[in-house]
Amino acid sequence: MRLTSLLPLVSALLLSACASNQPVLYAGPAGGDPNAGAAAVAECGRLAEQAGASDYGGQVGQTATDTARNAAAGAAAGAVGGAIAGNVAQGAGIGAAGAAAATLVQRIFAPPAPNPAYRAYVERCLRDKGYETVGWK
């Protein structure tokens, strides 16, 4: 299997690794519209972005860095296994692909926490609107 045939899969995994965390609201203003909470979250998120507090603050780049670092480590380990088995290049390729896939899958199931400044801004904004956050999911 060629590494270029893995490009669509890797792209999809990277995009899904960027899934956003959202605040969980406990209560809203008395007598308010139940759907107003989602609108308030969206508005507060937009305001936080405008204020310069980005949602993940470079953590998507960190996923790419971690994936590349782990792929290099996997390639080194695979090269050793390949040398023992008689094909260094194939072992290195298998090791790199396995380590990169493992890193991406781990990040998909454990999305990064929001940037602390973004989270604080959104929580303060929601509190000012009469909402209480109990956590993020």
Which tens digits make up the pLDDT trace of 95-116? 888 888 887 777 667 666 778 8
Residue 124: CB partners within 8 Å, gap ≥ 6? none
Token output for 12? 């999809």
**Dihedral over Cα of 9, 10, 13, 15: its sign:** negative
Confidence of residue 16 (pLDDT cuts 50, 70, 90): very low
The secondary structure of residue 33, as a DSSP letter, is -
Give the pTM. Answer: 0.51
